[in-house]
Structure 1
Amino acid sequence: MALRPRMRSRKLRDRFGPEYDRTVQNAQNRRAAEEELAEREKRHQQLQLRDLSEDERQRYTAQWTQVQEQFIDDPARALDAADRLLVNVMADRGYPTESYRQQVADLSVEHARPLEQYRTAHDIAGRAGRGEASTEDMRSAIVHYRTLFVDLLNGRHAQHTAHNK
């Protein structure tokens, strides 16, 4: 029967990628971490997620271009705008956006690969808001935000295609 837990672990590791390792590292033990990840999957199945329409994708892409242009004159405000834009995309896709912690947990099921970059960008944006981030840090954050932005814009179809390759 030891095979069943091993198969569950492999399935979760494949699904969550680096988020699996992060969750195991932060949990009391592997079993607790795997239960948390399984709960995330259950919650995720209850969400009414949808892909964006082509018009929405074009509108968000234009808004992202504005964020990048704003970065030249005011990097800290551009980071704030990038964070808000991502939250708007999440909301339009059907993700609850009530708290950053819940956003990360919900995104981890389908968007685990760019999640660490999102965490890093979010942290840098917070430091930038307090005047504690360098321009290079903020440039890096914009790149990190863009990774999740593109992933969210592409939707589930792209996720399943990439995951099955």
Structure 2
Amino acid sequence: MSTGTLIGVIVVVLVVVAAVAVLSRFFLQRKRLRERFGPEYERAVERSDSRMAAERELVEREREHAKLELRPLAPVTRESYARSWSRIQEQFVDTPQEAVTQADRLVTDLMAERGYPTEGYERQEALLSVEHANTLEHYREAHTISQRQDRGEASTEDLRAAMVHYRTLFEDLLGREDNRREEGAR
């Protein structure tokens, strides 16, 4: 085999190895994003011009999320929020509109307590998607119903559904499962 042929074979092998490495990295990132974002991954792909653009958006959300100073809740704080939620649920029977408004406010307060931004719904939604992707659709539904309520277009059944949606996100933000895992690790 001539030197030129040998160099040609080596170059081809190196190009193939480099291509495999790039493709492996690409597919591993895609898998990681799918696992981390769950249903939010598919939603981002559907809303985007391409899968690559959606994945860039999700990576950017991760970068922004990494800048946050998220805090776990102290047990006393967690209990205080849980009691507040119970009071709001009890209030629903007599004043459902006010209960939904207070549920929205309590969820926003809990986000702030944990270290999430509370200005701008779209930013909240994007940053919550990084760690709370599985309950984010509940937040969207509750927010949509709250907006309809503001326009006087939400029925009592809609308001009940909003409370259920808010509760799902509330419990996720409250972090009960995370705390059980931390306590089990001690």
| TM > 0.5 | yes
Q: Number of paired residues?
A: 161
Quote the residue 2:113 is aligned against: 92
Which residue, out of 53, 71, 80, partners 2:101?
A: 80
Whichever residue aligns with residue 135 of structure 1, its letter is T
Per-residue deviation at 1:155? 6.4
| Structure 1 unmatched runs, 5+ | none
Per-residue deviation at 1:129? 2.0
Quote the residue 1:131 is aligned against: 152
Per-residue deviation at 1:3? 2.6
- Structure number with larger C-alpha Rg: 2
Cα pair distance change 1:107/1:140, threshold 3 Å: same
Question: How many percent of aligned residue pairs carry the same amino acid?
Answer: 52
Q: Does 1:121 align with 2:121?
A: no
> Following the alignment from structure 1 to structure 2, what is the Cα–Cα distance between the partners of residues 21 and 15?
12
What SS class does the counterpart of residue 69 from structure 2 fall into?
Answer: coil
Cα pair distance change 1:160/1:40, threshold 3 Å: farther
Quote the residue 2:131 is aligned against: 110
CA RMSD of aligned residues (A): 1.8
The question of whether the paired residues in 2 share the 8 Å contact of 1:82 and 1:145 is answered with: yes
Cα pair distance change 1:105/1:127, threshold 3 Å: same
| Structure 2 unmatched runs, 5+ | 1-19
Mapping of 1:63-78 within 5 angstroms? 63-78=84-99
TM-score (norm 2): 0.82
> Following the alignment from structure 1 to structure 2, what is the Cα–Cα distance between the partners of residues 132 and 148?
23
The question of whether the paired residues in 2 share the 8 Å contact of 1:41 and 1:109 is answered with: yes
4+ long deviations beyond 4 Å: 158-161
